[in-house]
A and B are shown apart, each in its own frame.
Chain A
């Protein structure tokens, strides 16, 4: 039996009001008179009348809601009813909670054929056409993961409400293992296999293995030696382990003259050199070897950090991609060592212009329309909101960056900082080892078809009950239970020897990775808990279903571990054993279906020699008419997408949970988004963690070396201005590149990675973790059906993390007191190539990107550290995108105080006022001090370039130019409004 419980509000439902406001922005929005929202719970199973009544009572609040059992909710007059629910197999968190609530209420478990599902009806009153109603439905739902069902009033009346729909997964095929006859294949057939995947009996293909011909020939040779063909699961497993995603061949492989490759030479190389130079002051604890990197926090604790990207999934399903990203990187924290506790999240989003409404299509003839930049932006923001907030992890630090080249592929960066005791009474907690003879145990969520190599699927097949495989939705609460049980209990009871995350490649990667520790594993796939029956063994092995971790558990500890997990509502299952056989063996239905040498699995892939070329381009500098008054330029600049407020994000990402917030994402009376934030991971300690990041994709096409140098310099400068110091500061690198098969793109990459080495070593800030994502190109069709390729600009995100002794000495950016003196530290040059100012005036990119003088800047940063330590500085801001003019304006807006500035004799070499205001020269800081401290401050800064350039005043930002004449004079109120205007409607 299928039952439907519909719940509606008795009073004002603000969700409906907000939805109405959003829909009013569409072309036909004026026609919409009223919206009502009804929540629907569909139950499949046998429940008595009395039970249904009890269930309905437990699912609604009688003060504000009415429930209707097996009859449509009585709503006001409407013209269309649009119901949105999930497609079969898509994670339905609400449905799962409803099942748990009913089981607890009725004190019985659901049978396998019993299910609970959630959906929602939007009732619309307004004389819309059917086409318009469909358009609304498409805007509210994502057809990749959701079903939309629309009825007009007559249909609704005639059919007595909406249909009872049960999105149940039905997999009727038998489970079996196929041999792939690779031994006989020609090169052409091998290439086909790599590109399209293993062929089914009906000649359809299972989706790309993404193995190139030379890889497949190596595999062919391996099996020739064994004198047998591989099974499908063996081939899928190799494809996962050898993927660019897992092996990072571009960063690892030999490139030009660098036999050790980019990563070992420049990234790891920098860290090794820095650690050696620091000697006894080395604060690295675990770098590059684990799921996160770790540095020293205090005597007893270490701090971990990791930043991931989740770009492709977010382009398809922004909400699902982003929530899976943030909850996934949390597991890189939980999976560090024997388990770190997530204490801060970090985010960064690169999007196309949200106002860009020109459509893109993946398919020819206007098929497979891409989501618009605005839809992607709002979905991604909402995804990190749900993932971060529900997990109870503060998300203080982040940014948004816009460029039209992210239209085809957004970048979604997500990071997690963790806290882990250095030792427990038994051992060091950052070390782990799965031992031969221990159980392979999986905990957390169950396995479904989610995320199996983004396989394509037809919508017809989806209606027929086959699950959606490409997209996953995170379930933060399942993971929260797992996380609490591991890092707050099991870890300190010493119940397991090793742990890792199930991310890319699912079990195939996590188990094979841990098997390196013991030198072998034996897995029985029948034991893996499934969401629904009928999965093929290779699917179980590589599925990326979320919220799962793999552990190695000594046999004598299993009973206690299992009991604890039961008590905490976490499913734990033994699925095999770690061995010392040198092999990865997998069983299914009593038969061995996989037997691969670990050595071949991990190290069998052939090395590729990469070659690069690099031509430094020369873009002419734009010729700009000199202006006497820059008021309008300043006002336009402060509204630019990359400069304006994104308060609406900071206001919806909980940055206060866990109680450690010190320097917030919104600072001062004017609530300005800050470059850096400070948090206390331990409530009893004064010590803090300073976080920031930087990126300059606008410079990449001009000079990727300078781009990387600026990103590092700015990321470091940002945390310095908040109170961090170079003695205990680490970096993370996230490279998102495009077209890596083109030697010029590789040439840009090599330049950028070399800059990482050069500048990290100058500043003594080691890289502790990183990640790369190489294929960020969109190939498809534009609004008139022409074939287009849109590549992202080469993007390097540098994340900075500093550990500080005393949070009470940290600095916010807002002007504090009238008559405080304003200083600029560092030199200004005419460096506007690729700058926000040049991009605003749209007369060409220019070539004059900022050059970074690391040695000089290092001195500046050390002097600022000393001044902050002596508590001389009352506010500070790093100068970044938009230059001095923007940085000083933000300090004014934040403090809701004006300033009087003179650019006369500005340190550096600059001859024009526009350039003085908007040059993005690196190494510059604005600081204010109490006039009483003038002498001591200037004494401290001795030896570096600095100048007192003005003071904090009443109501206006007033700037006199290089020649002393006024060039800008704007009331702070007006600037505040301009700064907030851009994102006001989000």
Chain B
């Protein structure tokens, strides 16, 4: 069974629900404080999956994810690079995505891991925004995204506007690394909301590295694990009852975690 390390500490705060995602998917997951990795009490190498969860590491000071990325770079760089090169799986969700981007692990084009190539900038409203969005997964080779088409999950961030210079963007497209995009789907249509919640370039919500084993995204699949988390579950319940269909228990975000856990089966 796959073992996932869910990072915690210094203001990361979605470790519990991220762990829940991997466990509901049938895997095992441990929440590990970053300092326990730094001092060697716990070894990253003992795990198959690394999850950098959402949160507010260092209060977003000096740029979301930047300070935590600095800490990881200063202390755990070699371990991280080895982990990624061994084709193990890693995911960064929201603040975790910002951290992986600032570390230069995502997208890490042209084997230049460590060089920052894209950025997640202040939302176009310049305000922290919480809402649900529709996410269309692209046909790419990453284990994280297999067999997922369009799902609805929430976002919650102040700095999630994806940005890249034209040549980087071209490479991301050419190498098929754009993993998911904001689209006008069920939730946006129903709640009459703009599909792109933050002004991201080309509606990009998530990307992978060239090997496809590292995946980062701003939206939170960890907050859509159960049916009752959906913003319209009461409406669906009324419809299911009319159609005499049973209520589902789980939510659409679970698929992402199942993909990772099943990859190691």
Residues of A within 8 A of B (CB): 9, 11, 13-15, 17-19, 41, 58-65, 93-94, 97-98, 100-101, 104-105, 118, 385, 389-392, 475-477, 480-481, 484, 567-569, 650-659, 661-664, 666-671, 680, 683-684, 807-808, 810-812, 814, 816-817, 871, 874-875, 930
Contacts and interface: CB of A to CB of B under 8 A. Distances in A.
B165 A392 contact: no
Contacts of B131: 651
B264 interface: no
B161 to A, nearest CB: 7
B181 to A, nearest CB: 20
B112 to A, nearest CB: 13
Interface stretch (B55-63, B83-91, B144-152, B207-215): B55-63
Contacts of B238: 816-817, 874, 930
Contacts of B129: 651-652
B222 A568 contact: no
Contacts of A11: 121, 163
Interface residues of B, number: 71
Given A15-B122, A477-B58, A659-B223, A567 B10 contact: no
Interface in B74-119: 74-75, 102, 116-119
B15 to A, nearest CB: 9
* Top 8 A-B pairs, shortest CB-CB distance: A392-B13, A659-B17, A97-B61, A18-B126, A64-B119, A816-B238, A63-B119, A812-B234
Nearest to B63: A61
Nearest to B19: A683
Nearest to B12: A392
Q: Give the dominant DSSP class at B's interface.
A: mixed
8 contacts: A18-B125, A61-B102, A64-B163, A97-B61, A104-B75, A389-B128, A667-B231, A812-B234
A9 B122 CA distance: 11
Given A61-B102, A104-B71, A392 B17 contact: no
Contacts of A389: 56, 128, 156
B116 A61 contact: yes
Contact of B36 (A93, A385, A567, A659): A567
A420 B122 CA distance: 37
A569 B10 contact: yes
B208 to A, nearest CB: 18
B39 A105 contact: no
Interface in B29-72: 33, 35-36, 39, 54-56, 58-63, 66-67, 70-71
A199 B149 CA distance: 73
A517 to B, nearest CB: 31
Nearest to B251: A659
A64 B121 contact: yes
Contact of B59 (A58, A97, A808, A812): A97
B8 A94 contact: no
A814 B156 contact: no
Given A14-B124, A392-B55, 15 more contacts: A14-B161, A18-B127, A41-B62, A63-B116, A94-B61, A97-B61, A98-B62, A392-B13, A484-B8, A568-B35, A657-B14, A658-B14, A658-B16, A668-B235, A875-B234
Most chain A CB atoms below 10 A, which of B8, B61, B190, B237? B61
Nearest to B94: A657
B62 A94 contact: yes
B117 A104 contact: no
Contact of A808 (B14, B39, B247): B247
A670 B191 CA distance: 6
A66 B170 CA distance: 23
B70 A683 contact: no
Contacts of B124: 14, 17
B199 interface: yes
Given A484-B8, A569-B9, A651 B126 contact: no
Most chain B CB atoms below 10 A, which of A14, A98, A656? A656
Contacts of B9: 481, 484, 568-569
A928 B74 CA distance: 59
A94 B63 CA distance: 10
Contacts of A63: 116-119, 163-165
Nearest to B156: A654
Nearest to B95: A392
Interface in B128-187: 128-131, 154, 156, 161, 163-165
Contacts of A104: 70-71, 74-75
B234 A101 contact: no
Contact of A651 (B116, B117, B121, B130): B130
Given A14-B161, A669-B190, A652 B130 contact: yes
A656 B102 CA distance: 25
Nearest to A63: B119
Nearest to A395: B130
